[in-house]
Amino acid sequence: MTTMFRSVIATTARHRARPVVERSTVVMAQHGPFRLAIPVECVLRVERATTASALVPFGGTLLPVHALAIGEEAGGGHTRRPDDRLLLLRAHAAAPPHLAGLVHAVLDVVAVETALVRPRAMLGEEVPAHPAVCGMFTRMDSPVWVIYPARFPQPA
């Protein structure tokens, strides 16, 4: 005779036997030829880039607009397009937003297996020379660069 207690124990043991896969949720965006992944906890909001201003009002403060360019165009001027988006970004989950990141498109919100993200130190010379890039993973045969907003230099 099987009791309720034994069937619960057997179910619990089966669940413990499954491997645990650690995942990170990221917002995928595109700027120029680069696909970017930003940790979802760092993205407060996505808005249309409606003005060409270098500052965006948010909650009584003005946030600097910074193109999330990591390649050769980083630091250079960015020609705004009508379909550009602004990501209101913060350094970490508990911080207020500190900049508005300008991207050409927001692609998706995805859960990425953390083990598949290669850290910057393992990438060698293929990594863009930008301080915000901290890793890379491949999605649909394209590299996706993981960036942290706290590492973006503040615009002058």
Tokens of 41: 């906890």
pLDDT tens profile 95-138:
778 888 889 999 999 999 988 998 888 887 777 778 888 899 99
Half-sphere CA count of 147, side-chain side, radius 13 A = 34
Compute the C-alpha angle 126/128/129, nearest 5°.
120
| Edge-to-edge order in the sheet of strand 97-103 | 43-48, 85-90, 97-103, 61-67, 55-58
pLDDT at residue 142 is higher than 80 = yes
Q: Nearest-CA neighbor of 152 among 35, 44, 33, 42? A: 42
Q: What's the pTM value of the predicted model, to 2 decimals?
A: 0.76
Beta bridge partners of 24: 112
The dihedral of CA 63, 65, 70, 75: what is its sign? negative
Mean pLDDT of 133-146: 91
pLDDT of residue 82: 74
Top-confidence residue, 10 or 136: 136
